[in-house]
Amino acid sequence: MDLQAHVFDIKRDCSEDGPGIRTTVFFKGCPLSCVWCQNPEGKNDVSVVSYNESLCKPAQCDVACVSVCETHCLSFVDKLYVDFEQCVRCDKCFAVCPTHALEPVGYGISLDELLYRVMIDEAFFRSSGGGVTLSGGEATQQMEFSGKFLQALKQRSVHTALETSGFFNFRKFTDLMLPYLDLIYFDLKLMGEKASHQYTGQSNRLILENFEKLVQDNSINVIPRIPLIPGITATEKNLKAIAIFLKRHGIDKAVLLPYNPLWTDKLKYLGLKSSYERHNFMSAAELEHSIQYFKSFL
């Protein structure tokens, strides 16, 4: 059987995931469980269903999805109800949902098929200096596939980038993926180990060690990215600690990612909840405060 990846999205014309016009592949599964995860649909490594109640129009389909569902995880009284835990992705409901209120999240794809789909945009890569970015979830969770995919892209002279949480086996990474990467966006979230456990579900030790190793290796451009989560990562203590850590490693540039609350809608579609749900964007003052912490140390 051909090697397959488990992905949940392929986005074209991405301008924020690296230089030029890019196509970004989002891999399923992540070792972290950040309470503010921007892509909660990519957290686990199984295929799930997404339900957008605002799109559901029962009059248009006579609720055909209920009758075709193999595990009876769909029911209708005054509106459609989804038992997300019961769903096994028989996928029959998607074919009879005319408004796409029910959508699949996650699917398998072969190496040849994924290469075909991203190389459709080859002309845009060439003209803009763009390429392909691996994101997620966490692409290093599927390292064997990711490595072969990156190698195939480099054989086609395509610029490659990785967006990573930094939580991976470094030796395996240097063997399978690093030789075929041109750029790494490395997320630095929390400097305190206790806070890392609390808000991401994992210690930050491996993350910081991997960052230091990559910087010391000096064979690839590593750009640190800091998600600004009010009250969690965007605190004076945490941001100053990150800035000092970067300065100690000779890094004078970082990308700050202002908080975006749109992920909270995704939670509803997936039947999930989080202990952190701020529904408004960062204010200009909040963002400026965060920037100032870095200006003081970098």
Q: How confident is the model at residue 113 (pLDDT cuts 50, 70, 90)?
A: very high
Is 65 within 8 Å of 74 (Cβ atoms)? Answer: yes
Q: How confident is the model at residue 51 (pLDDT cuts 50, 70, 90)?
A: very high
Residue environment code for 22-55, b if the CB has 16+ CB neighbours within 10 A, otherwise e: bbbbbbbbbbbebebbebbbbbbeebbbbbeeee
CATH code of residue 41: 3.20.20.70
The average pLDDT across 241-270 equals 93
Number of domains in the chain: 2
Residues 27 and 98 in one domain: no
User: What pLDDT shows up at residue 124?
Assistant: 95
The domain of 139 spans 4-45+108-224+266-283
Domain presence at residue 138: yes
Give the integer Cα–Cα distance in Å for 27 and 10.
Answer: 9
User: What pLDDT shows up at residue 217?
Assistant: 86
pLDDT at 297 over 80: no
Is 36 within 8 Å of 229 (Cβ atoms)? Answer: yes
Write out the two tokens for 190.
């929390």
CATH code of residue 75: 3.30.70.20
pLDDT at 296 over 80: no
pLDDT at 143 over 60: yes
Write out the two tokens for 59.
């009059």
Instruction: Count how many residues are written for the chain.
Output: 298
Residues 66 and 207 in one domain: no
Mean pLDDT of the chain: 94
Give the integer Cα–Cα distance in Å for 18 and 222.
Answer: 12
User: What pLDDT shows up at residue 1?
Assistant: 54
User: What pLDDT shows up at residue 298?
Assistant: 64
Domain presence at residue 64: yes
User: What pLDDT shows up at residue 295?
Assistant: 79
Residue ranges of alpha helices (H) inside 83-128 are 92-95, 111-119, 122-128
